[in-house]
């Protein structure tokens, strides 16, 4: 049987939640490399062929010296462009290297700790909570809060604010009412989206369609029908209900009937979340905070946390009983215990409440009672000591 | 992790894009030189260009080699990463919270407030209001959205923020070794504190006495009659009266200690006047009492829950793996099927496990004490007695069910 109380810290298994911390920068590093590689490949092919053609043309005297010079200039320009791109890749690479280093150091600190009671562990765990919070905030699109918190706590290297901002450009453009970037993004990530059975592309195309109808311009309406045939009909098996709506919409100009014209829902359906999962292998589909919390809430929860009996007033308030988490923990299972965990010197007061003897004595002393009296820690009723009976917990 | 750090250092040193940029630069130089010579002598253009083809090809080969090296380095680092932080599947399909983002947002904003991050909290409240979260219930999670109606404004964040900012003001004063605001607060809440069995008010006043007693050389306050021994005496006369009923003994001790003021170090009261940790202690108990009076736990619940979660996860993962493999489900949805060991500081409630049924007692199945003083769960009692006389499973005592008494632990 597992022990009820532990303070053992096993860093290897303790880092389950922290895998994305190192995976994400690494995956981005690879992506960054691919971009660099692609550019080199493209430019080298182009340059080599330009050079060959120019040389041939010059040899056959087909090209004027001016033309030759122009071609050489364009090659130099291309090369400079390549250098610029590589330099920016190199900067990104450096950022990711730096970030990985800080993160490995941060995780490594855990290996230097003796136990869960170590003061250093508490500090580390607080930083972890801050990381989880920033991750949560980013996923729900609370960007300002996320960067403020990261800055306030000085954990910029340990969270992905910057990466996220880069990735959330798409959702930004959506918010401004442009779907082009989002559609391009859909195209790049076709495979993953299909696997996720994402409705995203359909929603975007539908929105384009709505925007065309919104104008009520005759030409645009015709365009809309073509658009629907081309982009929306292929989805008729996946989303039959919506397809009906598509044609229904033709009959309803904006302002009549229920309003599917609202743009609001679209922006919401393209949460930065999607952009974040651009790299699905390393970025978990739900916020890590959810995982940590649902495990933690259950581990801490006891039947007493949602009991009708108020907990005794002197104990420190339990985190699950505290307002912050009480409702959240309600539907979750409570922790399993195989052994009782009560004070060893329980005394039962006549009103049915049981407390440890030492606790009762201390409380009586603090309340300024004479010797020989107990005071109930919940209700404040006062009893003679003889009225209390001993409780045996086996 | 040290190994990984070494691998990363290798990667940074040997396999980065700098070299490829240098080689691109070399190609650029060659191109520019070629251009120069064409400008100088337009007739040599075809010759110069023909001569350039090979170096250009070599140049790009070199760049490609550089890139290959980077790729190799990255792969090596990737392998080291796999080795040092082996991939473990996280239980994404079991997310009990996905349907309740509003409550999570509430917990987060309260956490930020209690941590004193008022600026971040207010940004967060604004952002969350503007863009409320959408519950995304999963098939495996219960959808409790109907009780999820609590919207953020109802959290009375302003009120809470004022309270916490008050708390931080007092704590900062304590840090600056000024007890007065804390004492004032304790006096204003004297009744509630007494009900909680807290002697914070007295502890603070006592520290004030000791602080004055130790005199200007320690407390750095002006050396006048309101400081030092006489200051402490005046303070005691003014303030200790109200504590006489409850703390007579402590006050007597403090008074007697005055007689030893010349050689406190060797007196029996040495300990009382050792204030090395006293300031931290009162700060901690002040925070605890302050939060308790707000109905909140002293430590951030979010912090405790996240930490407990990290501790619990390895065990839970093992469980999920078994459940998946055996294709079973645990029968009691209301209780976790495995025991999770937590540090002592994370156990808050009395837990009673019925020795007969091995179940934890609940409101529906409360602990019952038989006349002999042994306790079992109500359901076990009913099963044992079948309504009639029965023997205690732990001692020879016999009783009837109506003699058993429900107890509250």
The arithmetic mean of pLDDT across residues B43-63, rounded, is 88
End-to-end CA, chain B:
46
Which pair of tokens denotes residue A214?
Answer: 């919104």
**Size (chain A), residues:** 394
> Counting Cβ atoms within 10 Å, is residue A251 exposed (0-12), middle (13-18) or buried (19+)?
exposed
Residue to substitute from A97, A127, A317, A350, interface B, most B β-carbons within 10 A:
A317
Say yes or no to pLDDT of B94 above 70: no
Closest CA to A360 of A388, A340, A391, A341: A388
Q: pLDDT by residue (tens digit) across B151-167?
A: 444 455 677 778 888 88
Find out whether B20 and B66 touch, Cβ atoms under 8 Å. yes
Q: What is the pLDDT of residue B93?
A: 62
Print burial letters for B62-90: b (CB count within 10 Å at least 16), e (below 16): bbbebbeebeebbeebbebbeebbeeeeb
Which range in A205-214, A257-266, B176-185, B195-204 is most confidently predicted, on average pLDDT? B176-185
- Which H helix or E strand runs over A383? strand A382-384
The arithmetic mean of pLDDT across residues A236-246, rounded, is 78
Q: What is the ipTM of this complex?
A: 0.79
Q: Which residues pair with A384 in a beta bridge?
A: A373
Residue to substitute from A4, A39, A125, A129, interface B, most B β-carbons within 10 A:
A129
Q: Show residues of chain B in contact with A149, CB under 8 Å.
A: 112, 117, 120
Q: Show residues of chain A in contact with B304, CB under 8 Å.
A: 296, 300, 319
Separation in Å, CA of A252 to nearest CA in chain B? 28
Closest CA to A293 of B148, B345, B96: B96
Q: Show residues of chain A in contact with B241, CB under 8 Å.
A: none
> Counting Cβ atoms within 10 Å, is residue B265 exposed (0-12), middle (13-18) or buried (19+)?
exposed
A323: nearest CA in chain B? B296
The per-residue pLDDT of chain B, averaged, comes to 82
Q: What is the pLDDT of residue A389?
A: 87
Q: Show residues of chain B in contact with A333, CB under 8 Å.
A: 332-336
Pairwise CB contact (< 8 Å): B195 & A313: yes
Rounded to whole angstroms, the Cα distance separating B303 from A19 reads: 20
Q: In angstroms, what CA-CA distances link B142 with A304, B94, B136, B159?
A: 21, 11, 11, 32
Q: pLDDT by residue (tens digit) across B229-275?
A: 888 888 888 888 888 877 888 888 888 888 887 777 777 777 777 77
Say yes or no to pLDDT of A373 above 50: yes
The arithmetic mean of pLDDT across residues B6-30, rounded, is 90
Q: pLDDT by residue (tens digit) across A52-103?
A: 888 888 888 777 878 888 888 999 999 999 999 999 999 999 999 999 999 9
Residue to substitute from A269, A304, A381, interface B, most B β-carbons within 10 A:
A304
The arithmetic mean of pLDDT across residues A358-380, rounded, is 82
The arithmetic mean of pLDDT across residues B89-95, rounded, is 68
Domain boundaries along the sequence of chain B: 2-84, 94-132, 160-293, 342-409
| A65 vs B45, B298, B334: nearest CB | B45
Q: Show residues of chain A in contact with B74, CB under 8 Å.
A: 26, 29-30, 33
Q: In angstroms, what CA-CA distances link B389 with B355, B356, B399?
A: 20, 17, 6
The arithmetic mean of pLDDT across residues A90-117, rounded, is 90
Q: In angstroms, what CA-CA distances link B138 with B21, B95, B96, B184?
A: 49, 8, 8, 51
Q: Which architecture does CATH list for B342-409?
A: 2-Layer Sandwich (3.30)
Least confident of A189-193, A307-311, B256-260, B359-363: A189-193
Pairwise CB contact (< 8 Å): B127 & A145: yes
Q: Phi and psi for B336 in degrees, rounded to 5?
A: -65, 145
| A293 vs B63, B97, B198: nearest CB | B97
A362: nearest CA in chain B? B197
Q: Show residues of chain B in contact with A394, CB under 8 Å.
A: 355, 374-375, 394
Q: What is the pLDDT of residue B153?
A: 47
Q: What is the pLDDT of residue A313?
A: 58
Q: pLDDT by residue (tens digit) across A246-274?
A: 777 777 766 655 555 554 444 444 443 44
Of all residues in chain B, the percent with pLDDT exceeding 70 is 91
Q: pLDDT by residue (tens digit) across B194-211?
A: 877 778 888 888 888 888
Of all residues in chain B, the percent with pLDDT exceeding 90 is 11
Q: pLDDT by residue (tens digit) across B366-389?
A: 999 988 889 999 999 888 888 788
> Counting Cβ atoms within 10 Å, is residue A361 exposed (0-12), middle (13-18) or buried (19+)?
middle
Find out whether B206 and B271 touch, Cβ atoms under 8 Å. no
Q: What is the pLDDT of residue A191?
A: 64
Separation in Å, CA of A47 to nearest CA in chain B? 9
Q: pLDDT by residue (tens digit) across A300-322?
A: 888 888 877 766 655 667 888 88
| A148 vs B88, B123, B315: nearest CB | B123
C-beta neighbour count of B274 within 10 angstroms: 12
**Number of inter-chain CB pairs under 8 A, A vs B:** 450
Q: Show residues of chain A in contact with B308, CB under 8 Å.
A: 295-296, 299-300
Q: pLDDT by residue (tens digit) across A349-366?
A: 888 888 888 888 888 877
Rounded to whole angstroms, the Cα distance separating A321 from A327 reads: 9
**Cα atoms in the Cβ-side hemisphere of radius 13 Å centred on B358:** 4
Q: In angstroms, what CA-CA distances link A367 with A339, A343, A363, A379, A382?
A: 33, 21, 6, 13, 11
The per-residue pLDDT of chain A, averaged, comes to 80
Say yes or no to pLDDT of A181 above 90: no
Pairwise CB contact (< 8 Å): B18 & A303: no
- Residue A183 CB partners (closer than 8 Å, separation 6+): A201, A204, A205
Say yes or no to pLDDT of B114 above 90: no
């Amino acid at each position: 049987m597992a022990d009820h109380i532990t303070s053992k810290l096993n860093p290897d298994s303790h880092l389950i939640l922290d895998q994305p911390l190192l995976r994400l920068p690494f995956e981005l590093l690879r992506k960054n490399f691919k971009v660099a590689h692609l550019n080199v490949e493209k430019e080298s092919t182009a340059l080599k062929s330009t050079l060959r053609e120019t040389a041939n043309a010059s040899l056959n005297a087909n090209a004027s010296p001016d033309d030759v010079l122009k071609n050489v200039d364009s090659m130099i320009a291309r090369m400079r462009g390549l250098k610029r791109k590589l330099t920016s890749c190199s900067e990104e690479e450096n950022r990711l290297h730096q970030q990985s280093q800080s993160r490995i150091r941060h995780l490594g600190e855990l290996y230097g700790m003796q136990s869960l009671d170590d003061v250093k562990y508490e500090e580390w765990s607080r930083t972890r909570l801050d990381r989880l919070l920033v991750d949560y905030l980013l996923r729900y699109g609370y960007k300002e809060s996320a960067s403020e918190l990261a800055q306030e706590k000085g954990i910029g290297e340990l969270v992905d604010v910057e990466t996220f901002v880069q990735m959330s450009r798409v959702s930004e453009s959506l918010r401004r009412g442009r779907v082009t970037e989002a559609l391009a993004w859909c195209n790049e990530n076709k495979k993953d989206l299909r696997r996720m059975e994402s409705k995203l592309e359909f929603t975007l195309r539908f929105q384009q369609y709505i925007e065309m109808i919104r104008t009520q311009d005759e030409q645009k309406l015709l365009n809309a029908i073509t658009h629907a045939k081309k982009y929306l009909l292929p989805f008729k098996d996946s989303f039959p209900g919506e397809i009906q709506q598509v044609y229904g919409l033709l009959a309803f100009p904006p302002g009549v009937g229920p309003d599917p014209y609202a743009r609001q829902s679209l922006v919401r359906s393209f949460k930065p979340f999607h952009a974040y999962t651009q790299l699905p292998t390393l970025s978990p589909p739900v916020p890590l905070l959810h995982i940590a919390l649902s495990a933690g809430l259950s581990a801490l929860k006891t039947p007493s946390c949602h009991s009708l009996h108020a907990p005794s007033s002197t104990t420190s308030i339990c985190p699950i009983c505290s307002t912050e988490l009480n409702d959240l923990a309600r539907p979750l299972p409570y922790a399993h215990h195989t052994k009782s965990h009560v004070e060893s010197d329980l005394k039962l007061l006549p009103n049915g409440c049981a407390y440890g003897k030492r606790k009762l004595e201390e409380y009586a002393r603090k309340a300024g009672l004479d010797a020989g009296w107990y005071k109930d820690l919940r209700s404040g009723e006062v009893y003679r000591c003889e009225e209390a009976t001993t409780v045996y917990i086996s | 992790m040290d190994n990984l750090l070494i691998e990363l250092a290798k990667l940074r040193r040997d396999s980065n894009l700098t070299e490829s940029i240098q080689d691109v630069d070399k190609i650029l130089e060659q191109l520019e030189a070629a251009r120069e010579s064409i400008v100088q002598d337009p007739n040599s253009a075809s010759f110069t260009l023909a001569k350039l083809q090979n170096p250009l090809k070599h140049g790009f080969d070199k760049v490609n080699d550089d890139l290959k090296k980077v790729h190799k380095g990255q792969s090596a680092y990737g392998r080291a990463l796999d080795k040092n932080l082996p991939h473990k599947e996280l239980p994404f399909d079991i997310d009990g919270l996905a349907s309740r983002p509003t409550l999570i947002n509430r917990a987060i904003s309260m956490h930020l407030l209690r941590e004193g991050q008022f600026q971040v909290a207010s940004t967060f409240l604004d952002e969350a209001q503007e863009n409320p979260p959408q519950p995304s219930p999963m098939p495996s999670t219960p959808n409790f959205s109907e009780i999820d109606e609590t919207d953020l404004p109802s959290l009375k964040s302003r009120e809470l923020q004022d309270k916490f900012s008050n708390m931080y003001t007092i704590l900062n004063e304590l840090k600056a070794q000024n007890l007065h605001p804390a004492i004032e607060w304790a006096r204003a809440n004297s009744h509630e504190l007494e009900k909680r069995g807290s002697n914070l008010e007295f502890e603070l006043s006592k520290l004030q006495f000791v602080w004055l007693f130790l005199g200007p050389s320690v407390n750095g306050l002006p050396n006048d009659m309101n400081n030092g021994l006489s200051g402490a005496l005046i303070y005691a006369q003014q303030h200790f009266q109200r504590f006489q009923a409850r703390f007579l003994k402590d006050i007597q001790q403090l008074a007697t200690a005055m007689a030893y003021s010349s050689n406190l170090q060797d007196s029996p009261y040495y300990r009382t006047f050792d204030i090395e940790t006293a300031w931290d202690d009162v700060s901690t108990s002040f925070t605890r009492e302050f939060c308790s009076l707000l109905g909140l736990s002293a430590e951030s619940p979010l912090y405790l829950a996240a930490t407990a979660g990290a501790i619990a996860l390895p065990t839970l993962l093992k469980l999920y793996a078994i459940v998946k493999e055996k294709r079973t489900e645990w029968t009691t949805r209301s209780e976790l099927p495995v025991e999770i060991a937590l540090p002592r500081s994370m156990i808050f409630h009395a837990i009673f496990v019925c020795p007969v049924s091995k179940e934890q007692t609940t409101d529906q199945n409360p602990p019952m004490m038989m006349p002999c003083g042994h306790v079992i769960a109500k359901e076990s009692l009913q099963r044992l007695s079948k309504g009639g006389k029965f023997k205690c499973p732990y001692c020879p005592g016999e009783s009837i069910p109506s003699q058993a008494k429900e107890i509250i632990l």
